[in-house]
Amino acid sequence: MLQDCGTNPAGRGIDSTSEKPRAQLDVAVVSKRIIANVEQVVVGKRQQIVKVLVAWFSEGHVLLEDVPGVAKTILPRAFAKSVGCNFKRIQCTPDLLLNDVTGGSIFNQKTSEFQFRPGPVFVQLVLADEVNRATPRTQAALLEAMAESSVTIDAESHLLKPPFLLVATQNPVDHEGTFPLPEAQLDRFLMKLSLGYPTQEEETQLLEMLQKRHPLDGL
């Protein structure tokens, strides 16, 4: 989608006063289309949508920390549909195991061999919902994926398909039964965002949008 601008045959760079670089034009056009598409579902959160887009372009990761009911899970789902990437949601709970995130090797009786079955982390956009409810061991399974875009299982490294973005959510109010994220994992996130409650006008717009069908179904 993005193209290398390069230089002209005469060896001179593109004159910015007469013509903008093609890549710059493509980024601006694509960004506006993605933002407009997400705003069909998530109303009144343009600043947060732009920041998630920045994380996507810069191959960073996002931590959404806010109270329930403010579209923490809807935003990454709408974003994944808007950019056309595959999406998986991991509902983090205390009994979530390491292999539930990364996948593992399963013995195939027909071939008498072990076959690797990838877990939900092997997609381009992963939503780790309520990540602080998972145990530290399970949280650690995300560290390599976030830092190296790969997962090591049974001493074998498996690369993740680029681009890779992990969006994690957590509730800042209810801390009972949770495991605070370690500093090493917080360092993997490019930014931490809060969505906040919608205004009365935005709530009215949301109700009108939901009268016929969920806006996600129309993306």
Query: Which tens digit of pLDDT belongs to each residue from 175-186?
Result: 788 898 888 778
Residue 7 lies in a domain: no
What CATH code is carried by the domain that includes residue 134? 3.40.50.300
Residue 219 lies in a domain: no
Domain residues for the domain of 172 are: 22-207
Question: What pLDDT was estimated at residue 24?
Answer: 54
**Matching residue, tokens 């009994």:** 95
Span 76-105, pLDDT tens digits:
999 999 999 999 999 999 999 988 999 888
Residue 8 lies in a domain: no
Question: What pLDDT was estimated at residue 142?
Answer: 87
Residue 110 lies in a domain: yes
What is the pairing mode between strands 113-118 and 103-108? Answer: antiparallel
User: How many domains does the chain contain in total?
Assistant: 1
Spatial CA neighbour of 163 closest among 151, 146, 141, 186: 146
The predicted model scores a pTM of 0.81
Question: What pLDDT was estimated at residue 39?
Answer: 93
Span 165-219, pLDDT tens digits:
999 999 988 778 889 888 877 888 999 999 999 999 999 998 888 888 888 887 7
